[in-house]
Amino acid sequence: MRARAFIFAGLIALSASAQLPQVQLPPVSVPGVQVPALPAAERAIGNTLRQLSGARALRAERLLSQHRAELDRDPRGDLVVRAEVVAIDITPDALAGAQKAQFVVLRTQELADLEVKITVLQTPEGMSATRGLKRLRKLDPEGTYDYNHIYLDAGEVGATAAVTNAPAAPAPASGNIAGHRVGLIDGGVEATHTALRGGVIHQFGCDGNPVPSVHGTAVASLIAGAAADFQGAAPRAELFAADVYCGLPTGGAVESVAAAFGWMAKEHVPVVNVSLVGPRNALLERAVKVLLGRGHLIVAAVGNDGPAAPPLYPAAYAGVIGVTAVDAKRRVLLEACHGKHLALAAPGADVRAADAADSTGYREVRGTSFAAPLVAGLLARVLDAPDSVAGKNALAALTAQAVDLGPRGRDDIYGAGLVAAGLPQMAIK
């Protein structure tokens, strides 16, 4: 009985502050152990899981309540930019028809490296994005239109520093020596942090003025550590960091994410990490397909919406390397998404990452956001340029090294198993 109480107390201690609607949890069984029904404890576990998996929903609700003039929801409840519809490769005739129906062209982007043209249309006055999307699809059944969806990060950075003034990896060499090339699509990066000095960081987005963020800096530091080659002349990764948030309430919109993918294609970045999650979207799918078709590897967090949640994107797109997270005891995080699209697991709790607010400080982080960059960094060590065959071989080699967890063989909880368990930034002290 004391053992059960300890387990339940440990689960409750992990609880966050978010609240979500009631969900049905699968039954829990322990081989060889008969556990009596404990309604109160089961409710506690259910509450804990709902709270841990509710971080993205809570953040979305807060964003919506604070920025109703800029944001809205689609029929599935996902955040979108209010009164905007994205048109992909719209024809002149279709555009003329849309304008005749009182749609207004807000922005146009030619993403030559993705071979796609994005036209963002504002709906007629008083018309929601949902009604506008239906209207455009009726006017132009052959065209491709979608919401300007918002994509949010898939992890939480601790509110207080868990580790400070202690490097997460051996000190970088001097001289700004470029290392293995790897991209990240996230918030802005604080390039002056100790964890990122000594390498090369290229930043993109926000009209040339990226806004350093807590999440983006943490992810960048984990990529840099995982991609580091301390035996040779490249002690840090050469990072291509695209800021898709820019400190704006509409940050993370799919048009910005697509532009970031276009930059990765232009720069021939072989491995791209995306620790953002959201719904399926036609523009995002187009960008992902183009990069995968050219031999880039895309590594993405599967998300923290819970084991019963529907798949999140871009991790759930075919060909993307979806990554889940485990804690220091190699247990999958309670809030991590499950699914057939899951490829690998990596540490995503009991992990320290760079603190954007302190150039030498580190914070404890939790979530699939922080597992994906470890996988991306390891793949970047062996892939010098986009190449379909080399990328496939690199992924196969890494998968072969995975430690099988859970049911024997590949499963929907851990994928092929755990990688990156021995990297130096894994232990919180």
Q: Are 365 and 266 found together in one domain?
A: yes
Number of separate domains in the chain:
2
Least confident of 21-35, 80-94, 305-319, 320-334: 21-35
Q: Give per-residue pLDDT as tens, 155-182.
A: 777 644 444 444 444 333 333 445 799 9
Domain boundary among 149, 175, 205: 149
Domain boundary among 149, 180, 211: 149
Position 342 scores a pLDDT of 97
Least confident of 153-157, 162-166, 239-243, 359-363: 162-166
Look up the domain containing 111 and give its range.
Answer: 69-149
Residue 312 near residue 303, CB atoms below 8 Å: yes
Q: Are 178 and 199 found together in one domain?
A: yes
- Please report whether residue 62 resides in a domain: no
- Please report whether residue 5 resides in a domain: no
Position 178 scores a pLDDT of 52
Sorting pLDDT into bands at 50, 70 and 90, what band is 39? Answer: low
Q: What is the CATH number of the domain that holds 137?
A: 3.30.70
Task: Quote the tokens at residue 176.
Answer: 């700004």
Q: Are 135 and 206 found together in one domain?
A: no
Q: Are 181 and 128 found together in one domain?
A: no
- Please report whether residue 51 resides in a domain: no
- Please report whether residue 336 resides in a domain: yes
Q: Are 166 and 223 found together in one domain?
A: yes
Q: Are 310 and 343 found together in one domain?
A: yes
Q: What is the pLDDT averaged over residues 271-279?
A: 97
Least confident of 131-145, 220-234, 282-296, 345-359: 220-234
Q: How far apart are CA 56 and CA 49, in angstroms?
A: 13
Alpha-carbon torsion angle 31, 45, 53, 349, nearest 10? -60
Sorting pLDDT into bands at 50, 70 and 90, what band is 308? Answer: very high
Q: How far apart are CA 128 and CA 106, in angstroms?
A: 15
- Please report whether residue 25 resides in a domain: no
Task: Quote the tokens at residue 109.
Answer: 């982007």
Whether the per-residue pLDDT at 25 is higher than 50: the answer is no
- Please report whether residue 50 resides in a domain: no
Q: What is the CATH number of the domain that holds 249?
A: 3.40.50.200
Q: Are 111 and 188 found together in one domain?
A: no
Q: Are strands 342-347 and 321-326 parallel, antiparallel or unpaired?
A: parallel
Q: How far is CA 350 from CA 282, 324, 353, in A?
A: 36, 14, 10
Vertex 403 angle, CA 399 and 408, to 5°: 95
Domain boundary among 149, 168, 185: 149
Q: Are 85 and 163 found together in one domain?
A: no
Using DSSP, state whether 217 is helix, strand or coil.
helix
Place of tokens 């894994």: 426
Q: What is the pLDDT averaged over residues 246-265?
A: 96
Q: Are 143 and 291 found together in one domain?
A: no
Of 79, 81, 87, the closest CA to residue 136 belongs to 87
Position 233 scores a pLDDT of 41
Q: Are 370 and 267 found together in one domain?
A: yes
Using DSSP, state whether 5 is helix, strand or coil.
helix
C-beta atoms surrounding 202 within 10 Å: 16
Residue 168 near residue 225, CB atoms below 8 Å: yes
Q: Are 77 and 135 found together in one domain?
A: yes
- Please report whether residue 46 resides in a domain: no
Q: Are 132 and 176 found together in one domain?
A: no
Q: What is the pLDDT averaged over residues 407-417?
A: 96
